[in-house]
């Protein structure tokens, strides 16, 4: 059975959780606070002590079949002894029996250990407040949705992410045109001056993120950017206590294509911006070489919320570091058409009056 | 004629206003660039040439007002 890690309060033995408000481990029972380093050190000392208690397991008569347990792992909760069955990528969770936060240390050991983690800076209440703020100023959001929505769950998740550095060498050729117009009494003139424009150079990129979990929608993760990697710290499992986490199931080799695609688009746009003072610019030939450094493996904080309304589930997400909130909202089509009709009538009358007085 | 122009322009403006309000409901979209991750001051232009190729001038006769009787 795989190893679970729990972090107990030295004062009252309650389960510690990482509190984003104070950026320390906090006991929800006695409110004691401890730095992550102190807890890790205490944990290490505990592990070096001989184990004086034995837990006896009763093996069940019924065993899982191969099909049932493929892709799953079985853990034992150290608090209540309950059996936790989780997907093999799950890295942190809560015991379904006693709700204690647990970290599956095997998921983040050895070669699987992340290089960096951005700890949560915002708590669950901030996520709820951000959801209500997200509803503001949306004229076509059905009022019924605002009043009757039901939050199914709010969960803080560490999403595995690959960070890529790259050096780009680019050489791009454009066909550009300058136009000049003038008139005399008899003729209108247009002069076209054609140029061949060449731009070559280099750019460097760092920490371009690509989602390393197939469970987390890539478009959602990209919508939550940017994350500030300068606030990342070296990974320690204690930061995950109280949150959910998965280890990566999309490798760096599969993710690098997306990073390079984004880098190429940025390089093309950056070089295109240096071609100025032309009326028309067309790209003729583009050569971009990318040299990638070794990818870093990081954990990024995200609050996930699901809302049920009208038989549909609406997913929302908040960047656990910056508070950026995203999620598509339903639209009141009736209100939209009504607004369009009303505005069209008003503006049509205004423009018709203007045209009449101008003599059209 | 002025009514037709007024209706067309009115519908266009109404469509733009409604379109802007509708687009506020959509906040999930892919990020196709990596502009946030450019290393500061790392962009270097090593070659920067603008070569003139040729010129072409078009001329169009202006419509003349009909002679008055």
pLDDT at residue A71 in the model: 65
Q: What is the pTM of this model?
A: 0.77
Tokens (6 digits) for A279? 């009326």
The answer to whether residue B40 neighbours chain A at the CB level (below 8 Å) is no
Determine the pLDDT at residue A58.
45
What ipTM was reported for this prediction? 0.80
Q: What is the pLDDT of residue A51?
A: 52
Contact indicator for A208, A261 with CB cutoff of 8 Å: no
Which of B2, B29, B34 is the best mutation test for A, with the most CBs of A within 10 A? B34
Residue A351 pLDDT > 80: yes
3-state secondary structure of A112: helix
**A356: exposed, middle or buried (Cβ count in 10 Å: 0-12, 13-18, 19+):** middle
Question: Mean pLDDT throughout A141-152?
Answer: 78
User: Can you tell me the distance from the alpha carbon of A114 to that of A111, in angstroms, rounded to the nearest whole number?
Assistant: 8
Interface test with chain A among B11, B12, B18, B26, by most A beta carbons within 10 Å: B18
Burial class (CB in 10 A: 0-12, 13-18, 19+), B17: middle
pLDDT in tens, A75-113: 777 776 766 667 767 777 777 666 677 766 666 665 678
CB-based contact A78:A277 (threshold 8 Å) = no
Of A283, A319, A297, residue with least CA distance to A114: A297
Query: What is the pLDDT, as a whole number, of residue A292?
Result: 80
Q: How many angstroms separate the first and last alpha carbons of chain B?
A: 29
Nearest to A327 by CA among A121, A122, A141: A141
Mean pLDDT of A263-279: 95
Tokens of A90: 């799950």
Whether A223 has a pLDDT exceeding 80, the answer reads yes
Per-residue pLDDT of chain B in tens (69 residues, 90 and over written 9): 888 889 999 999 999 999 999 999 999 999 999 999 999 999 999 999 999 999 999 999 988 777 666
Tell me the DSSP string of A158-177: EEEEEEEEEEEEEEEEEEEE
Provide DSSP, A291-338: EE-PPEEEEEEEEEEEEEETTEEEEEEEETTT--EE------HHHHHH
| SS3 state of residue A135 | helix
Say what percent of chain A tops pLDDT 90: 42
User: What is residue A56's predicted lDDT score, i.e. its pLDDT?
Assistant: 43
Q: Which residues of B touch A256 (CB under 8 A)?
A: none
- Mean pLDDT along residues A231-239: 89
């Amino acid at each position: 059975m795989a190893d679970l890690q729990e972090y107990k309060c030295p004062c009252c033995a309650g389960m510690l959780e990482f509190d984003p408000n104070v950026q320390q481990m906090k006991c929800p029972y006695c409110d004691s606070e401890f730095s992550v380093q102190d807890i890790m050190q205490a944990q290490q000392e505990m592990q070096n002590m001989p184990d004086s208690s034995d837990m006896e397991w009763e093996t069940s008569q019924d065993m899982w079949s191969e099909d049932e347990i493929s892709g799953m792992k079985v853990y034992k909760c150290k608090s209540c002894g309950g059996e936790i069955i989780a997907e093999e990528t799950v890295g942190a969770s809560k015991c379904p029996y006693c709700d204690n936060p647990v970290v599956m240390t095997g998921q983040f050991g050895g070669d699987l250990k992340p290089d960096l983690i951005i700890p949560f800076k915002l708590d669950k209440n901030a996520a709820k407040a951000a959801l209500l703020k997200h509803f503001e100023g949306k004229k076509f959001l059905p009022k019924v949705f605002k009043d009757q929505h039901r939050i199914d769950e709010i969960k803080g998740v560490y999403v595995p992410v690959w960070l890529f550095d790259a050096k780009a060498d680019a050489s791009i050729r454009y066909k550009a045109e300058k136009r000049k117009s003038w008139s005399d009494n008899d003729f209108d003139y247009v002069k076209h001056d054609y140029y061949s424009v060449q731009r070559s150079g280099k750019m460097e990129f760092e920490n371009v993120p690509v989602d390393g979990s197939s469970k987390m929608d890539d478009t959602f993760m990209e919508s939550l950017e940017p994350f500030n990697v300068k606030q990342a710290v070296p990974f320690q499992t204690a930061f995950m206590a109280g949150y959910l986490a998965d280890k990566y199931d999309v490798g760096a080799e599969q993710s690098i294509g997306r990073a390079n695609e984004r880098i190429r688009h940025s390089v093309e746009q950056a070089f295109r911006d240096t071609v100025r003072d032309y009326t028309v610019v067309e790209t003729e030939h583009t050569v971009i070489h990318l040299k990638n450094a070794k990818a870093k493996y990081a954990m990024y904080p995200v609050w996930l919320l699901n809302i049920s309304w009208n038989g549909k589930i609406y997913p929302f997400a908040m960047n656990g570091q910056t508070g950026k909130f995203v999620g598509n909202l339903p639209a009141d089509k009736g209100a939209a058409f009504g607004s369009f009709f009303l505005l069209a009538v008003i503006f049509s009358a205004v423009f018709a009056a203007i045209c009449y007085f101008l003599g059209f | 004629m002025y009514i037709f122009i007024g209706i067309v322009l009115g519908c266009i403006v109404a469509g733009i206003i409604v379109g802007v309000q509708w687009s506020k409901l959509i906040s999930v979209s892919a990020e196709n660039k990596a502009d946030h991750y450019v290393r500061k001051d790392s962009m270097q232009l090593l070659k920067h040439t603008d070569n003139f190729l040729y010129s072409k001038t078009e001329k169009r006769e202006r419509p003349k007002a009909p002679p008055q009787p």
